A and B are shown apart, each in its own frame.
Chain A
Amino acid sequence: MEYVLILMPSMLKGTSVTLQLFFLTLIITLPLGVILALARLTKFKPLNLFMQLYVWVFRGTPLLLQLFFVYFGLGILGLKIDRFSAAVLAFVLNYAAYYAEIFRAGIQSIDRGQYEAADVLGLTRVQTMTKIVLPQVFRRVLPPVSNEVINLIKDTALVYAIGMSELLRVAKTAAVRDFSFIPFLVAAVFYLAMTGVVQQFFKWLEAKTNFYR
């Protein structure tokens, strides 16, 4: 127990890196996902094709590889960004691809009849989207979005690869130093606490937004 207390300061520091990366990625990615989904659904062919290519590339390669490309690859091309920014950029590019697909599925799940009804009522296309379609989409995509948000917390552990001391890396350095397995147990508890909060939040949000039933 005393040992766990000794570990605390560094574990908390690692957790703060994890959480910063998590929140920043989330704040950028969620709205970006909506925009990308709309871009993917447009009938304007070049944009549509570009989006398909984008999703293919960023959903189709390992996030770890993308981290290496953003941090080391762009560096070779002369675009030097610091570790944290590189991590955020790679995570945003990757997760936006997933969210774009989730939101696309959500938008496509709305019945055509609703568009026609909105048209009859004299709503513009933008009004239909923002006032009729997207609120329903928001409710429908909550379960898959919560899946990805929880995945995001766990994926932050990958940034050790570009020399960032996030939670799991901090546990690893302590485990190596003290030759003990306890730091990993502490890290597991930290991750469970974080994902537990996210899980409860989405549960509450789903109940709260249950206004169409």
Chain B
Amino acid sequence: MKKKIAIMLVLCLSLGVFMMGCGNSEPEPNDVKEPVVEDTSWLDIKEKGYFVMGLDDAFPPMGYREQGTDDIIGFDIDLANAVAKEMGVEVKFQPVIWDTIIEELNGKNIDLIWNGLTITDVRKKAMAFTDPYIEDKQLIVIQPSSDIADKTDLAGKIIGIQAGSSAIEAVERDAKTYESIGELVEFGSNDEALLDLTTGRVDAVVVDEVVGRYYKGKKPDDYKIIADHFGTEEFGVGLRLEDKAFLAELQKALKAVKADGTASEISIKWFGVDITK
């Protein structure tokens, strides 16, 4: 009797493993074919009628949840909708977290990343970018009472920065300043870094212009933005490296939206000025 139960259990467990094995093997024929067939990325999306846009939904003002309604709104959302309309498809928004955007993209959970994504050489190796659509700076935010006037004053100071952000690369590129600063503290998100600035545990925060201005607008008395900065950067849309056809279509639509003034309108709505490129 005991043995019978044991054998039954083994059977159940191995059946489970076997079924998982089956699940694995099913999509394989497609996988094998993929390199041979042509790039169907755009056809697939046209057929589906939508593309899935991955974004961190805690990244105001580019993409975030509207107070009360909980809808995803932001500059990137409006621009993506305009571009998709131009392409004759719709957008589905999928919140992801910043740390795993590459896995989400390559795992085909999302078709693109559109989330104030700075074009960098490192990222270009992992994904394909559209032409830039926004140009912004890496700002230095300080406490109003602070006497930091430019980058040389950062020597020996503690600087807060968002982990995995392009702001880190920007600071590192500026070798002279990078070597002089006391410590670079990485936070989970920009708002945490800025919150720590108000407590004085960090002396300055390096952050994207669009984000920095958003928070400066929220708490004008708590922050000061100095004129000196860590260079300009460009935002682009990130796609899978192999989705060349989709990239070309997206590029065309993005260009059209920029040319007919829609992009500028959206920029003025969110930032008060036209910072599109």
Identify which of A78, A125, A160 contacts B2 (C-beta below 8 A).
Answer: A125
Name the B residues within 8 Å of A179 (CB-CB).
Answer: 191, 194-195, 215, 218-219
B interface residues, how many (CB within 8 angstroms): 46
User: Is A44 an interface position by the 8 A CB rule?
Assistant: yes
A10 and B70 contact, CB distance less than 8 A: yes
| Most chain B CB atoms below 10 A, which of A38, A43, A72 | A72
Give A129's nearest chain B residue, CB to CB.
Answer: B5
Name the A residues within 8 Å of B94 (CB-CB).
Answer: 163
Name the A residues within 8 Å of B28 (CB-CB).
Answer: 78
Known: A78-B27, A172-B58. A44 touches B107 (CB 8 A): no
Name the A residues within 8 Å of B69 (CB-CB).
Answer: 9
Query: Would you list 15 pairs from A and B whose C-beta atoms are within 8 A, ordered by A residue?
Result: A6-B67, A10-B65, A47-B9, A72-B107, A78-B25, A78-B28, A125-B1, A125-B2, A161-B99, A161-B100, A163-B96, A170-B65, A173-B65, A175-B191, A176-B189
Would you give the 0/1 interface string for A20-51, flagging 1 where the beta carbon is closer than 8 Å to chain B?
00000000000000010011001110110010
Give A164's nearest chain B residue, CB to CB.
Answer: B95
Bound: A135/B108 CA distance, A = 48
User: Is B241 an interface position by the 8 A CB rule?
Assistant: no
B20-39: which have CB < 8 Å to A?
A: 20, 23-28, 31
User: Is B60 an interface position by the 8 A CB rule?
Assistant: yes
A43 and B2 contact, CB distance less than 8 A: yes
Known: A10-B65, A79-B20, A125-B2. A160 touches B9 (CB 8 A): no
Interchain nearest-CB distance for A200 vs B (Å): 31
User: Is B234 an interface position by the 8 A CB rule?
Assistant: no
B98-138: which have CB < 8 Å to A?
A: 99-100, 103-104, 107-109
Known: A6-B67, A72-B103. A124 touches B1 (CB 8 A): yes
Interface residue range, chain A: 35 or more
Interchain nearest-CB distance for A79 vs B (Å): 5
Name the B residues within 8 Å of A68 (CB-CB).
Answer: 100
Name the B residues within 8 Å of A173 (CB-CB).
Answer: 57-58, 64-65
Interface residues of chain B, those whose CB is within 8 Å of chain A, are 1-3, 5-7, 9-10, 13, 20, 23-28, 31, 57-60, 64-65, 67-70, 94-97, 99-100, 103-104, 107-109, 189-191, 194-195, 215, 218-219
Would you give the 0/1 interface string for A158-170, flagging 1 where the beta carbon is closer than 8 Å to chain B?
0011110100001
Known: A44-B10, A125-B2, A175-B191. A161 touches B70 (CB 8 A): no
B10 and A47 contact, CB distance less than 8 A: yes
Bound: A47/B190 CA distance, A = 50
User: Is A126 an interface position by the 8 A CB rule?
Assistant: yes
A79 and B23 contact, CB distance less than 8 A: yes
User: Is A75 an interface position by the 8 A CB rule?
Assistant: yes
Interchain nearest-CB distance for A29 vs B (Å): 15
B9 and A176 contact, CB distance less than 8 A: no
Name the B residues within 8 Å of A50 (CB-CB).
Answer: 13
Give B67's nearest chain A residue, CB to CB.
Answer: A6
Name the A residues within 8 Å of B3 (CB-CB).
Answer: 44
Name the B residues within 8 Å of A111 (CB-CB).
Answer: none
Bound: A78/B9 CA distance, A = 27
B2 and A163 contact, CB distance less than 8 A: no
Give A163's nearest chain B residue, CB to CB.
Answer: B96
Bound: A48/B99 CA distance, A = 39
B60 and A44 contact, CB distance less than 8 A: no
Bound: A207/B258 CA distance, A = 69
Name the A residues within 8 Å of B2 (CB-CB).
Answer: 42-44, 125
Bound: A68/B67 CA distance, A = 30
List the 7 closest pairs (A to B, CB-CB), nearest first: A44-B6, A75-B107, A10-B70, A176-B58, A173-B58, A78-B27, A163-B96
